[in-house]
Amino acid sequence: MATELLSPLLPQRRRGLAVAAAAPLLLLLLVVVVFSRSRLTVSSPERVDLTLVAGAREKGAVCLDGSPPGYHLRRGFGSGAHNWLIYLQDGTKLFFRGLRIWEAVIDELMGKGMDIAQQALLTGCSAGSLAALLHCDNFRGRFPQEVAVKCLSDAGFFIDVKDLSGERSMRSLINGVVHLQNVREVLPKDCLQNKDPTECFFASELIKSISTPTFILNSDYDSWQIRNVLAPSGSYPQQAWSSCKADIRNCSSTQIDVLHGFKNKLVSEMKVAEDNKNWGLFIDSCFTHCQTPFHITWHSPISPRLGDKTIAETVGDWYFGRRQDVKQIDCEYPCNPTCSSRLPTA
C-alpha cells in the first residue's frame, strides 16, 4: 500500500497514529504526535488531555505566571507505537524560560517511551517552525545514530528584507526577541563568530549549521510576511496596500511586481537547502501561512500541488526515501491553479 504522512497536527484518531500536544516554548507551544507508514483515514477529532510537566518549578521551567508548562500526548499503537512527531505550535506571548521548558518537556517524553523511538520528526509552524530549526540538531543528539530523526520547518523561513518604507521591520522585531529572551545560547556558534546574533536568528543562517536532514515547507508569497514584514502598517501611505495584503487577488500589477521581488529574495536564501541532497523543499506560490495544521492544505482535493503531488505526498516521499532529490519550487503567482482562495491566511 502507498505510504504518506497525514497531517501530524490534528488530534484525530487514525490507525497507527498517536498525537500529543503542547507546552510553551519561547513564543510557542509544543505538540507531539506519533505516526506510522500506513495510509490513514480521518475520523472525528478527539480531546487530548493536558499533562503538566512533573517537577517543572524545581527545574525553573515555568510559564510567565510561575505555573508549570504542559503538553498533550496521545500514544501510538501498532506500527506507529515507536514513531514520534514533536510539533511546536505557532507564536504566543510566552517570552521567557523557553529553553528550560523545551528541555523539561523533552526529558519527560524521553522517560515516557520516546527514548526507544524508531523514528522521530521535529516540526512546527511559524514561530514554532523557527524553534524547530533552532533545536533540530539538539533533538537529533538525544537519539542513537540508528534512529531515523528528521526536522520539518513550516512557514518559519522569515527573511530580513526592507519593508515598503525602506525600514527593516523584521530585523527590529528579531533583535528584540534575541536580546529580551537571551536566545544567543541556542544560536549557531559558527555564525556568532562572524555575525550579529540578530542575523544568526534568521532561517537563512540557521540552515547553514543544521546537519540533520530537514524539509522546508513555505509559501514564497507568505501571507503573514507580506502583511507584517513587507507591508506592515505605517510603511505605506493611507490605504495603498490594505486591499492587496488582505487578498493577493486585489493587488495591482505594480504591487505584484513587488511581491515577485519578495519571492525571489526568499527563494535565493534557501540555496543551502536546495543544494543539500538530504533536504527537501515544497515552496508554493499560494497566499497562505502554515500549511501543515490544516487538512485543506496538507492533503485534500483542493490542497496546493507541485509536481502533481500534495504537501503530504511530497513530505512522505522525502521522509520515507521514496524519491531522491525531493525539491519543488513553484513558479510566480498566479501560475499555480491549485492555489485556492479558500486556503487559510494569517
Per-residue HEC secondary structure of 118-134 comes to CEEEEEEECHHHHHHHH
Asked whether residue 157 is domain-assigned, the answer is yes
What's residue 90's pLDDT?
82
Locate 335 and state its grid cell.
501560475
The Cα-based distances of 227 to 61, 221, 241, 319 in angstroms read 33, 10, 9, 32
The Cα-based distances of 316 to 38, 272, 273, 275, 342 in angstroms read 11, 21, 18, 20, 24
Confidence band of 89 (pLDDT split at 50, 70, 90): confident
Asked whether residue 70 is domain-assigned, the answer is no
Mean pLDDT of 12-19: 31
Mean pLDDT of 70-88: 91
Q: How many CB atoms are located within 10 Å of the residue 73 CB?
A: 24
Measure the CA–CA gap between 183 and 181, rounded to whole angstroms. 6
* Average pLDDT over the chain, rounded to an integer: 87
Asked whether residue 282 is domain-assigned, the answer is yes
Confidence band of 344 (pLDDT split at 50, 70, 90): confident
Contact predicate 208/145, CB 8 Å: no
Is it the case that residue 15 has pLDDT exceeding 70?
Answer: no
Q: How many CB atoms are located within 10 Å of the residue 97 CB?
A: 22
SS3 label, residue 51: strand
Is it the case that residue 234 has pLDDT exceeding 90?
Answer: yes
Which domain covers residue 214, as residue numbers?
A: 117-329
DSSP strands (E only) in the chain = 18-20, 30-34, 50-52, 70-72, 83-88, 119-125, 148-154, 214-219, 280-284, 327-329
Asked whether residue 270 is domain-assigned, the answer is yes
Is it the case that residue 304 has pLDDT exceeding 70?
Answer: yes
What's residue 48's pLDDT?
83
What's residue 13's pLDDT?
31
The Cα-based distances of 75 to 11, 16, 87, 161, 244 in angstroms read 11, 9, 14, 42, 44
What's residue 47's pLDDT?
79
| Structural domains in the chain (count) | 1
Mean pLDDT of 29-45: 40
Q: What is the pTM of this model?
A: 0.87
Measure the CA–CA gap between 34 and 121, rounded to whole angstroms. 9
Out of 35-39, 60-64, 86-90, 103-107, pick the least confident: 35-39
Asked whether residue 6 is domain-assigned, the answer is no
Please give the residue that has the higher pLDDT: either 345 or 84: 84
What's residue 114's pLDDT?
97
What's residue 75's pLDDT?
86
Confidence band of 128 (pLDDT split at 50, 70, 90): very high
Q: Give me the residues paired with residue 148 across strands.
A: 119
Confidence band of 137 (pLDDT split at 50, 70, 90): very high
Q: What share of the chain is helix, strand, coil (3-state, %, to 5)?
A: 35, 15, 50
> Which residues are annotated as catalytic?
126, 222, 289
Q: Which residues contact 112 (CB under 8 A, 6 or more apart)?
A: 73
What's residue 45's pLDDT?
58
Contact predicate 266/329, CB 8 Å: no
Mean pLDDT of 229-239: 94
Is it the case that residue 23 has pLDDT exceeding 50?
Answer: no
Measure the CA–CA gap between 154 and 119, rounded to whole angstroms. 19
